[in-house]
Amino acid sequence: MTFSALGLSAEIVRAVSERGYTEPTPIQAQAIPVILKGGDLMGGAQTGTGKTAGFTLPLLQRLMTKPVTGKAPIRALVLTPTRELAAQVEESVREYGKYLPLRSMMMFGGVNINPQIKQLHGRVDILVATPGRLLDHLQQKTVDLSRVEILVLDEADRMLDMGFIRDIKRVLAVLPKQRQNLLFSATFSDEIKSLADGLLTNPALIEVARRNQANELIEQRVYPVDRERKRALLTHLIKEHNWFQVLVFTRTKHGANNLAEYLNKDGITAMAIHGNKSQAARTRALAEFKSGKLQVLCATDIAARGIDISELPHVVNYELPNVAEDYVHRIGRTGRAGSEGEASSLVCIDEKKLLHDIERLIKREIPVVQVPGFEPDPRIKAEPILNGQNRGQGGHGQGRGQPRSGHSGQPRTGGAPRTGAGGGKPAGGHGAGRGAAPVLHRSGGRGR
C-alpha cells in the first residue's frame, strides 16, 4: 500500500516521502479514504499510531480540492487537549502541506493573546487550538469560525478528562451545522460515546489496537525497591547504563519537580514538564530533551501525553500510575516507529496491587530484575497510596545512599490529586467501540 494509492495528491505524497514515510500505518490506511470521501469518523487510536497524519493528510487534500475565492476563512479546526499536542499537530500540518498554498495557525493559552489576534487578521485556513484559548478568542470576537468545513477533536478522551467538555460544546455551538467531523480518542467511555452521538453523523468507526498489545519491541521490566530508595535506584540505573533521553513518570507535578531537582544535584541533567510550567519553559525542556542536551525529563501523565518524540529509548515509571491504562500510554512513548525501547518500573511494596492490575490489563507478567544492593527490606509494610505521591519522592524523603531503614514514621501527606482535573478515569474504558459501532474496521497497531 502506498500513500498515492490512497488517493492523495502528488504534493502531499511528496511531503510525506520527504518525511521518510514509505507506507501508511494501519490507521492511515483506513482513515484516509473515509475522510477523503467526506464522511464523519470516530477513530480509536492513541498517539504513536500515526493518527496525526491519518487526519492531517486527507484534511489538506479536502481543502485543496475545494478551493475558496476571496479572503480565505478558517476552514478546518483541530481541537487538542494540550499546548504540546497543538504545537505538534500544527507542525505536522505545515510539514505535510508544505507544497500547498494553505496556511495554518496554532493557538493555545499561557502566552500573550495579541500576537494571535494579529495572526488571525491574516490568512488562516487551518486552526489548531486548545479549547480554553479558542473560547477566549470567540468571546472577544477575534476569531470567526462560521465557515469551518472540517472539525477534528484530537485525543477527545483527554479533553474530557481535563474538563474541557463545556468549552468544546460552546465551540461546537458557533460552527456551521454542515461540516465533516472527525473524533479521535484512545478510549471509548460512555462520556465519549455520548459526545460522539451528538456530534457525528453515520460515522465510520476505525480502531487500531493499542500499541503495546503487539509491540514486542518494548522491553518491560520491574525493579523492586523500597519507596525511600527509588531515587537512589533511579540514579544508579541511569549512571550504570548511561541512559540518555529518559522520560520519567511521576504521579504528581510536585513529585516531578522534586525528582528533577534531586537528579540535578546528583549530576544528571533533568527538568520537569507539567501544566504549571510556562509554555516557554516547556518548549525549552522539550527541545533540549530532543537534542540530547537534557538527559532526563520528569513528567506527569497529562504533560507527557502530547509529547511526540520518536524512538525514545527509555521510559521509567518512577511510580506506577493509579490507572492501569495509563501504564500503556506511558510505555507507548518508547519503542516507537519500529525502534527498540525499554520501559522500567520502580515498584515498591505499596504498589503491588497497581502492578497486578497492569499485568492483568496487558495480559502478561513483567519480568522482575533485582538490582543488588536495592533489595526491598522485608520488614517494611505496605502503606496506602493516598491519591497522591509516595513519601519517597515527595521532597522529604531521604536521598541517595541512605540506609535501608524503611519509612521514617512521618505521617503521610495527602499530596496533590491525580494530575489533570477530574482524573479518576475508570480503567478498561477502551476497547472495541463498545456499544454502538456502525462500521468497525480493526487492525493490529502499526504493523511494524
Residues making contact with ligand AMP (CB under 6 A): 21, 23-25, 28, 47-53, 308, 310, 336-337
Cell of 273: 514538564
Cβ 350 to ligand AMP shortest distance, Å: 33
**Residue 172 half-sphere exposure toward CB, CA atoms < 13 A:** 17
> Minimum distance from CB of 100 to ligand AMP (Å)?
18
Pick 96 or 164: Cβ nearer ligand AMP: 96
**How far is it, in rounded angstroms, from Cα 74 to Cα 147?**
6
Q: Are 21 and 44 in contact (CB under 8 A)?
A: no
CB of 201 to ligand AMP, least distance (A): 25
Please state the closest distance from residue 52 (CB atom) to ligand AMP, in A. Answer: 3
3-state secondary structure 108-132: CCCCCCHHHHHHHHCCCCEEEECHH
Enter the DSSP assignment of 19: T
Q: How far is CA 41 from CA 45, 196, 264, in A?
A: 12, 9, 46
In angstroms, the CA 86 to CA 107 distance is: 7
Query: Which CB sits closer to ligand AMP, 253 or 336?
Result: 336
Nearer to ligand AMP, 157 or 351 (CB): 157
Judged by beta carbon, residue 28 or residue 317, the one nearer ligand AMP is 28
Looking at the Cβ atoms of 104 and 257, the one nearer to ligand AMP is: 104
C-beta of 323: minimal distance to ligand AMP in Å? 21
Cβ of residue 337: shortest distance to ligand AMP, in angstroms?
5
Q: Which residue is nearest to ligand AMP (CB)?
A: 52
CA distance 330 to 249: 8
**130-168: string of b/e by CB count within 10 Å (b at 16+)?**
bbebbbbbbeeeebebeebbbbbbbbbbbbbbbebbebb
Judged by beta carbon, residue 28 or residue 252, the one nearer ligand AMP is 28
Q: How near is the Cβ of 241 to ligand AMP at its closest, in Å?
A: 25
Go through the chain and tell me how many residues it has: 448
Give the DSSP H/E element, type plus range, for residue 194. Answer: helix 190-199
CA neighbor of 310 nearest in space, from 245, 249, 248, 220: 245
43 strand-pairing partners: 184, 206
Minimum distance from CB of 302 to ligand AMP (Å)? 16
Q: Alpha carbon of 182 to those of 154, 190, 298, 362: distances in Å?
A: 8, 18, 32, 28
Q: How far is the CB of 103 from ligand AMP (least distance, A)?
A: 21
Residue 117 CB, shortest distance to ligand AMP, in Å, is 29
How buried is 258 (Cβ within 10 angstroms: 0-12 exposed, 13-18 middle, 19+ buried)?
Answer: buried
**Closer residue to ligand AMP, CB minimum distance, 15 or 233:** 15
Q: 111 or 337, CB closer to ligand AMP?
A: 337
User: In the complex, what is the shortest distance from the CB of residue 105 to ligand AMP, in angstroms, rounded to a whole number?
Assistant: 19
Q: For residue 219, report the phi and psi dihedrals to the nearest 5 degrees.
A: -90, 115
Residue 310 or 370: the one with the smaller Cβ distance to ligand AMP is: 310
Nearer CB in complex with ligand AMP: 145/312:
312
What is d(CA 394, CA 389) in angstroms, rounded to the nearest whole number? Answer: 6
Q: Which helix (H) or strand (E) holds 246?
A: strand 246-249
What SS3 state is found at 343?
strand
Nearer to ligand AMP, 306 or 394 (CB): 306
Which residue from 236, 214, 216, 210 is spatially nearest to 225, judged by alpha carbons? 236
Residue type, 337: A
Our CB check for ligand AMP shows the closer of 137 and 336 to be 336
In 3D, which of 292, 300, 239 has the Cα closest to residue 268? 239
- Least distance to ligand AMP, CB of residue 88, Å: 7
